Every structure is written in structure tokens, then in C-alpha cells.
Amino acid sequence: MAENEFNQVQKKLYRLYSEIEHHNYRYHVLDDPEISDADFDQLMRELEELEKNYPDLQDLSSPTRRVGSKPLSAFTTVEHKIPMLGLDNAFSAEELFEFDRRICRLLQVEVIEYFCELKIDGLAVSLQYERGVLVKGSTRGDGYTGEDVTLNLRTIRQIPLKLPEPLTIEVRGEVFISSDDFEALNLTRELEALPLFANPRNAAAGSLRQLDPQLTARRPLKIFIYGLGENDLQLETQETILKYLDQKRFPVNTNRLRCNGIDEVWSFCSRLQKDRSLLPYAIDGVVIKVNVLEQQKELGYTARSPRWAIAYKYPPEEKETRVLDIQVNVGRTGAITPVAILDPIDLSGTKVQRASLHNEDLVRNKGIMIGDLVLVRKAGEIIPEVLKVIETKRSGREKPFTMPKNCPSCGSETVRLFGEAARRCLNPSCPAQLVEKIVHFASRAAMDIEGLGPAAAELLFQNRLVNDIADLYYLESEALSALPRMADKSAANLLSAIDKSKNNPLRRLLFGFGIRHVGEKASRLLAEQYGSLDFLSRATVEELQKIEEIGPKIAETVVLFFNKPETELLIDKFRKAGVNFTEPEKEITKSAPLGGKTFVFSGGLENYTREQATAMIEERGGKIVNSVSRKTDYLILGSEPGSKLSRALTLGIAIIDEKKLQNMLADI
């Protein structure tokens, strides 16, 4: 390419970069577009055509990089040079005022200037810019190391790919999904027969941690930038930091306030608690920081959090609504569960219309009647629950609820077994149980059949294509494509996912069977011990109980399951379909990184589920057990540990926190 042509093309590229990013900022940050969508699309097409003709000239800051890149095989680790520590929490006014007294005492002053910001319920991230260009983005992780999610963060249109000036700087923010976008996202997933997200935070976290950036690009992620990491700036307060970030065209939340003293802080927290339902995104509190950076430096840090900041956490939001009806659901084990049908309310960022009442004892103990006004909240900000009946507002027209004596799905008589709270339908051919069994069988922890959610399972059953879980492996493309809302491509994808699942190890098939009391861990233990479904199916109760952590209840239900005539027919259908019945041999020796080491969990982990942590430990030869003994090598200490901690201390067991566990796994 001639030098003159090179210069002309490069100038045109940078002009388009600048113009497109300007309009991105106007639309996605300021919510004040200057041009129509059609005009913006025309600019993007012009840029794409130019980059197609001159691919070597494409820059890291090109807006076309927002649409996603090739899928990754795994995320790499990023070390935070300045740790992204968590915050201590205050759950009451008393705790918040005690924080203020402590700060005043440490700084030897009477009044502190604070800065208040909303605590967005999302996922904390770091963005690193070199000479004004976004070069790396990572998750908070454990505060010291996170995951490199640069390609995914590039898809968020609020994040500038290039700054107005060539700054080398690290900024930090919170990725989230707005309430309306979350509702629309779940509606789309329901139509596509995909599992629904529990709440906006889970949706944001899951979207940002996709290995395929093109999937992330289709999710409605947003971000608010709230602070700085590594930088050479000479700023004096948290307030000036946010003003500076705003000037550099970062999306900064406008709901913020400098407060002179703790009384003004409390006033801000109280006002936002009252108005939080009006916000277009979920918050779970207010972050309060000492405003002056020099005072922050003087106060310093503890091992886990800065001394100069605290999060005031709001109590779970509670609202009144009316119980319009009480219906019952039939689960895959036949359990009949009463569900309150509520007059819809907005609660903690989502619309709530149903709340599980668990069993007939709970309904009776809380005195819940159809027509009652009740107080509802989200347990853990996720699951709707009925707290209590507002008896003073009863009109006398309320109707008592009684559990049905017959199954609402198949009409069989329901029974309440000795020692159980649930009433059950024991008919193995019950249609409602079958739909739930299909959903469970296809779930991620079982056979992991993508696209086979509740709606698809119901569709297959109603159209008599599936009468048991083994029938899934005999579905044909023509019959699937003829179903409503099932196009040729959807049918092909589903058949492909079903075929792929045939190769899953035995432990997944066992868990997919849905045998009572047999969870993921028991399924793995049984699969590893017997290695083959044929051997396991002939095991006795006595033999099974010899396996560590397999007790009499699990042993009895496993033997009972395999002794049923219908199970024999089911297994025969799976065998003829070519489903794998074996577990890969696990050669764990003392030479494995954690070979022979035994671990026990106590308390919740922040960055992993227990299943994830268990898998990583077992992959390296370690073993997870439920109770502490002299044979235990390590107790993994999480938040809110139980009695296992005191026993570990008594026995002198090595205690490691989540960070030490991560380091141990990373060093291997």
C-alpha cells in the first residue's frame, strides 16, 4: 500500500472510531442520542467495510471489537497490583454510627466528611488503560487475583475503548443488568426453553463469565465506574475522583452525595431505602467512604477490608400483597407443594407473582388463607417467601386451604409418609412427575442437555413424544420440527445436545435418574466405586453401606430403585440407545498434587460454589468429606462457619481460607 493511501485510510478509520464512540457515549451513557439508529448503523457498516478491505489497520480501540471475538477455552488469571478488597457491613443505624465513632477516634476529630454512593448489586471489575486504550479487564475474584474477561467487557457499550487523552490508568466499576432488561432477558429465555436467571446479579455474573464473547455481547450488560486502582493522579477526595471519571467520559452514577457528618449519611441512606424501588436497577445498600484521600491513607486497611469505608446493607425489602389462590405443584419425586399465587408486586428489582409455601404444616402454622393480605419478602434477595399473615386486615371472606387427597395431575391418592413433611403422589406414571423428571435429567448437573427446559419438556410430553426419560434418545427430527415453536434449527440443536449427552460419565446418568436422596456427590461416589451401571444395579444394601458417606437411607433407596421392573425396562432402553453406562477410571495416587489429602468445608465461599471447589480439589487428587476427624488434613474456612471450626481447632487441624485454597490450587 502506498504511503499516501495508508495515511488516508488511517485518518478515515480514526475519524470513524471517534465519531462512533462519541455517539455510543451520547446514547449509552448520557441517554441523549444525537443521531438516529439508522444513521449510527450506517457509520458502523462504513467502518466494517473499511476494516474488511484493510484488516491490518484495525486498531484495538475499534468499535467493531465490541461484537465479540472467538470463544476462549478458559480464562487466564490477572493479579491486582492494588487489591480489590471487600467492605465491612453495617446492618443497622447503631452499627453505622459505631463505624463513625471508631473513625473519629482513630483520626482524633469530631466530624468526618463522608462520601455516599449506591451499592449496585452487580459484579466488581477492573479496567486497565494504556495510553488511553483499554488493554485489559478483569473480575474482582478473591480481591488479589481475578479472571481476564477483557473480550467480554469490550462488548459493554458504556465502556470507552479509547479515552479522550492517552492516559495510563486503572478504573474500577460494577457490571449489572437493569430491572427491565432482566425481565426481558428472562422472558426471552423462557420462550427459548432455557433456565431462568434467579436475579439480576446472577445474570450479570453469568453473562460476564461466558467463554464465548459473542454470547456476552447479546446480554444487556451495563456498568457504573466508582473508583480508581493503580494511577498517578494527584486527586484529593473521593468526590473529585468521580468528577474526574465523569469528565473522562466514564459512566458514573449520579446518585451520590458528599455528607458532613454521620447524621447526613443516615439521612441519605434512609431516603434511598425509601426510594430504591423507583430506581431502574437493583441496589442492596449504600457505600460510605471517608471522603478525604489523605485520611483514607492514614486509616489504612485490615487484612480483608479498608478501615475508611463501610457498606450499609438494607434489610430485605418487604411488601404487602394478597394471596389470590393457593395451588399445588407436583415435583419429580411426587412431592405435592403448595404455592401462593400473589397479586403481582415489584420486589427487590423483579416482579413477584408466586411464593412456595413448602408443605401443609407451614400453611397451617402461619395460618395462611386464600384471600389473605400477607407480608412477602425475598429470602436472601432471591426466593420469594410469605413472612406472615396480616390478620388485622381480614374481611371474613378468606377461605381456608386444604391439601388435596388426590394428585392434581394423575388423580392417584396422595399419602404422607411417616417422618416426612411432604404429601406425595406415589404413581410412577404421573404426568407432572415425568415433566419434572425430564427437566432434572436434562439439567446442567445431570446430562446437561442444552435447550431442554420446562417449556420444551412440557411440549414433548403433551405431544406424546416422550413418556419416560429414555424416550429422549429416540426423538426424530421430523416429529420435533412439527411441534409449535420448534423450528428446524431448534430441533437440530436439541437432537445434537441429546446425542452429545450419550457420552457423559456414569455419575451424570445416575444423578439424572433422580433417585431419592442421591445427589451429585452420592452419584459420583457410587459411580467411582462400581465403575459400571450393571455392577451397581446388582449391589446390596450391605455392600453399598461399606462406601464411606453412603448411609442406610441412600443404600436402601438405590436398591429399591434398581429392583423396580420399570427401572429394568428404562435401563434396557438406554442401553439400546447407546448411552454410556461406565465411569472413567480415576487413578489418584499419593503422587497427585493433593493425593491423599482430606478437606472439610465450613461456611460459605465467595468466589466458588462448593461444587466448583470440590471438583477442583478432586481433580488434583484431594478428597472432600462432611465431618472433621483426626484424619482431616485441612478445614476450608468460609463466611459464617459452624461447629466444624471449633472441632478443627480442638484437633489441631490446619485451617485455610478461600484465598489460601486458591493459591494452593493455582500453585499446582
What's the CA dihedral at 379, 382, 388, 393 to 10 degrees? 150
Minimum mean pLDDT range among 14-28, 121-135, 226-240: 14-28
Q: What is the DSSP letter of 281?
A: S
- Which grid cell sits at 501? 449427552
How buried is 594 (Cβ within 10 angstroms: 0-12 exposed, 13-18 middle, 19+ buried)?
buried
**3-class DSSP assignment, residue 218:** coil
For residue 298, the model assigns a pLDDT of: 92
Bigger pLDDT: 77 vs 310: 310
Q: Which residues are catalytic?
A: 119
**HSE toward the beta carbon, residue 539, CA cutoff 13 A:** 26
Domains of the chain: 3-59 (1.10.287.610), 88-313 (3.30.470.30), 318-415 (2.40.50.140), 431-501 (1.10.150.20), 506-577 (1.10.150.20), 598-666 (3.40.50.10190)
Per-residue pLDDT tens digits for 374-417:
999 875 455 788 989 999 999 999 999 998 889 888 888 888 87
Residue 486 has pLDDT above 80, yes or no: no
| Summary mean pLDDT of the chain | 85
Residue 454 has pLDDT above 70, yes or no: yes
Which residue type occupies 317?
A: E
Most confident of 182-196, 239-253, 434-448: 239-253
**3-class DSSP assignment, residue 278:** helix
Per-residue pLDDT tens digits for 506-531:
999 999 998 888 888 889 889 988 88
Minimum mean pLDDT range among 127-136, 173-182, 336-345, 351-360: 351-360
DSSP letter string over 90-144? E-SHHHHHHHHHHHHHHHT-S--EEEEEEEESSEEEEEEEETTEEEEEEE-TTSS
**3-class DSSP assignment, residue 173:** strand
Segments of 348-477 assigned E as strands: 350-356, 373-379, 383-389, 414-415, 423-425
CB 90 within 8 A of CB 96: yes
For residue 262, the model assigns a pLDDT of: 96
Most confident of 329-343, 481-495, 593-607, 653-667: 329-343
- Which grid cell sits at 300? 489504612
CA 114 to chain centre: 32
Mean pLDDT over 355-378 rounds to 90
Residue 372 has pLDDT above 60, yes or no: yes
Bigger pLDDT: 8 vs 104: 104
DSSP letter string over 357-375? --SHHHHHHHT--BT-EEE
Give the C-alpha separation, 638 to 602, whole Å: 6
Q: What residues have CB less than 8 Å from 246, skipping those under 6 apart? A: 252
Residue 330 has pLDDT above 60, yes or no: yes
Mean pLDDT over 612-626 rounds to 80
Give the C-alpha separation, 621 to 664, whole Å: 13
CB 177 within 8 A of CB 185: yes
Per-residue pLDDT band for 237 (boundaries 50, 70, 90) equals very high
For residue 592, the model assigns a pLDDT of: 62
Give the C-alpha separation, 437 to 466, whole Å: 11
For residue 349, the model assigns a pLDDT of: 59
CB 360 within 8 A of CB 405: no
Maximum Cα–Cα distance across the chain: 89
Per-residue pLDDT tens digits for 93-122:
999 999 999 999 999 999 999 999 999 988
CB 409 within 8 A of CB 430: yes
Per-residue pLDDT tens digits for 554-566:
888 899 889 888 8
Minimum mean pLDDT range among 195-204, 267-276, 324-333: 195-204
Q: What is the CA radius of gyration of the chain?
A: 28
For residue 74, the model assigns a pLDDT of: 67
For residue 86, the model assigns a pLDDT of: 84
For residue 374, the model assigns a pLDDT of: 92
How many residues appear in the chain?
668
CB 259 within 8 A of CB 116: yes
Which residue type occupies 606?
A: E
In sequence order, the β-bridge partners of residue 319 are 376
For residue 588, the model assigns a pLDDT of: 47
Minimum mean pLDDT range among 215-219, 252-256, 571-575: 215-219
Per-residue pLDDT tens digits for 214-230:
888 889 999 999 999 98
Q: What is the DSSP letter of 71?
A: P
Per-residue pLDDT tens digits for 125-149:
999 999 999 999 999 887 888 889 9
Per-residue pLDDT band for 302 (boundaries 50, 70, 90) equals confident
Q: What is the DSSP letter of 426?
A: -
For residue 508, the model assigns a pLDDT of: 92
CB 632 within 8 A of CB 653: yes
Residue where the block lists cell 495510553: 131
For residue 61, the model assigns a pLDDT of: 65
Give the C-alpha separation, 344 to 356, whole Å: 14
Q: What is the DSSP letter of 346?
A: E
Q: Residue 203: which H helix or E strand, with range?
A: helix 200-208
For residue 55, the model assigns a pLDDT of: 73
